[in-house]
Chains A and B, each alone.
Chain A
Amino acid sequence: MYAQMVKSEGMKARDEMSPEELAFQERIDRGEKIEPKEWMPEGYRKTLVRQIGQHAHSEIVGQLPEGNWITRAPTLERKAILLAKVQDEAGHGLYLYSAAETLGVSRDDLVEKLHSGAMKYSSIFNYPTLNWADMGAVGWLVDGAAIMNQVPLQRTSYGPYSRAMIRICKEESFHQRQGYSIMMKMAQGTPEQKEMAQDALNRFWGPALMMFGPSDKDSVHSAQSMAWKIKINTNDELRQKFVDETVPQAEYLGLTIPDPTLKWDDERGHYDFAQPDWDEFFEVLKGNGPCNEERLGARRRAWDEGAWFREGLVAYAEKSAARRAAAGVAAE
């Protein structure tokens, strides 16, 4: 989702496992939570760092497409709501980086890996937000798709990740609803507003489906991640669930999902739908999406231009600690 195509390491059959590995797997199978500093296979740790890190990066890069409209929000209330939402995303990034840090990596290192391109963020944030209805579509579809994945992840095996997810899910519900509330206003508004709403849906539908990642039913990485309970459902399961829940919501809005093949399948009890353009998806992942350069450029700029600020505050903290120590010595 926000963590797409995370490679997991060290898939092993049960009979190849060391006693430690077997005991670890049994703890997970019993539903126990793994906590920091407890023994874990190196593959589990590395995979989690990659997944949680990617998720955290997605939150902070994800501030940008919506941040793009904060200064243009049409009313004071919409401005406050949007700002609060984008601020929450910074908070979610912070919670997730903290969870990753319990695995022995530092936040600054993760951030540098994002900036160097060594770590990825979700493909969805490389798409532009072009009209106000996009703020609705992002909340409704993008946060909606994210929630599909994050709700089950509350039960993930790694304690700090699970707790971060619980907190995040609580806040995400407001995000999706505020998005849908914008879509309702737009879809029920003037003909131009309705046109913007349909345009937003047309542009975000495919990229939202891509958020779940390509089919992974045959992927060994996914199988390992699922055995470790750091992935709970397959990509296809979640994508189907998303489509099934979203179609009636689009119908209520009077908007058309841009998929002529979309139809209810009575036998399966699900909607049939067309796959998104996976060639486009891989191009976006490679850095050739519509906004890759802008997004990563904005993050790098913020970090580089903020260096003096971070360092200045460290300098003050060191000076004041030294002054306190000196005063303490003098007082003795």
Chain B
Amino acid sequence: MSVQSETITPQAPAADPLVADEALRPAFFDWLCRMGDNTVVLGHRISEWCGHGPVLEEDIALANTALDLIGHTQMWLGLAGEVEGRGRSADDLAFLRDAYRFRNAKLVELPNGDMAVTLMREFLFDAWHFEMLTALTRSASARVAEIAAKALKEVSYHLERSSDLVVRLGDGSAESHARMQEALDRLWSYAGELFTADATDDAMAAAGIAPSLADLLAQWQRTVDEVLEEATLRKPEGRFDVHQGGKQGRHTEHLGYILAEMQFLQRAYPGASW
């Protein structure tokens, strides 16, 4: 039987002069790597659960989340490669950069721990991700707006799901409550990096490509406060922005091991096609 591959007609990408703007290029590339590195690293972490979830339905749901994030990575790093203009593909960027070139926040590279850490991390990230993508749908860059609109549909569900589970487990049994509180206490000081702007973020905001991070904070705090309250969890008193540097390439020790695993085949067999 002859089987033809389904022809998928890719929609022509929106016209977007910002993609070729040379003055913006370094900051735009850097920023796109931040978006794509957050999703590739978090997607990697969540995919570690596949086959090891606490119940079949949750195993399947976690895999869906990881699949979404890998899909977003292909879009963000694909556009990063175009903006950079040196012919690098999304795969080149994901599999052939060393840790100090990665631009994800430290929050997403921390080990999964138990389901409490995994879900609390997802929630803190999703709440940021949702606000970020919502703002990006109005980006001056048509290409960025297009990606954000696609990703937002999925991330809306991520946030709905992680909020729901944080509430249920926080207000569940004594043990689930204690674990969720412990996870929150452990992760809290990493969340603020997502809102700490540097020159790259300022340049993107000035160009109208991305929102000012400070503008996202108020809504994020409202979401977090509401969910934590319903979950009967106590918001930690300490600063939420202690751990910084991931976005500039200064990571925890964990990222190196993620990449050693993720990039193994591409590094061991350079130039092979898979």
Using a CB–CB cutoff of 8 Å, the interface residues on chain A facing chain B are: 60, 63-64, 67, 70-80, 83-84, 86-87, 90-91, 93-94, 97, 132, 182, 185, 189-190, 192-193, 298, 301-303, 305-317, 319
Q: CB-CB < 8 A to A90: which residues of B?
A: 50-51, 53, 56, 59-60, 63
Q: Which residues of B contact A193 (CB under 8 A)?
A: 269, 272
Nearest to B74 among chain A residues (CB) is A76
- B176 CB-CB contact with A under 8 Å: yes
Could you list 7 A-B pairs, sorted by A, with CB under 8 Å? A72-B265, A74-B265, A93-B56, A311-B175, A312-B168, A312-B176, A313-B168
Closest to B178 in A: A308
**Closest A residue by C-beta to B91:** A75
Q: Chain A binding site: helix, strand, loop or mixed by DSSP?
A: helix
Q: Can you add 12 more A-B contacts, CB < 8 Å, to A75-B91, A94-B57?
A: A73-B265, A75-B95, A76-B74, A87-B50, A87-B60, A182-B274, A189-B272, A190-B272, A298-B51, A302-B52, A306-B55, A311-B176
Q: Determine, out of B64-72, B192-200, B233-241, the stretch whose residues face the partner at the interface.
A: B64-72
B50 touches A67 (CB 8 A): yes
Q: Is B156 an interface residue (CB 8 A)?
A: no
Contact count A vs B, C-beta below 8 Å: 149
Interface residues of B in 227-274 (CB under 8 A from A): 261-262, 264-266, 269, 271-274
The B33-63 residues at the A interface (CB cut-off 8 A) are: 40, 44, 47-48, 50-60, 63
Give bound CA distance, A127 to B247, whole Å: 41
Indicate if the CB atoms of B175 and A189 lie closer than 8 Å. Answer: no
Instruction: Please encode chain B, from 60 to 97, with 1 for each CB lying within 8 Å of some chain A CB and 0 for all others.
Output: 10011011001101100100000000000011001100
CB-defined contacts of B55 to chain A, threshold 8 Å: 306, 309-310
Question: Taking the nearest CB of chain A, how far is it from the CB of B268, in angstroms?
Answer: 9
Q: Is B173's beta carbon under 8 Å from chain A?
A: yes
Cβ of A316 and Cβ of B171 under 8 Å apart?
yes
Shortest CB–CB separation between residue B235 and chain A, in angstroms?
Answer: 20
Known: A71-B44, A74-B266, A306-B53. A79 touches B60 (CB 8 A): no
Q: Which residues of A contact B58 (CB under 8 A)?
A: 306, 309
Report the nearest A residue to B60, measured CB to CB: A90
Q: Would you give the shortest CB distance from B5 to chain A, in whole angstroms?
A: 11
Q: Using A308-B175, A315-B176 as known contacts, say yes or no to A79 and B265 having CB atoms under 8 A apart.
A: no
A64 CA to B59 CA, complexed, in Å = 12
C-alpha gap A315/B173 in the complex (Å): 5
B179 touches A308 (CB 8 A): yes
Does B22 interact with chain A (Cβ within 8 Å)?
no
- Most chain A C-beta atoms within 10 Å of own C-beta, residue among B54, B77, B169, B177: B54
Q: How far is the CB of B174 from chain A (nearest CB, A)?
A: 8
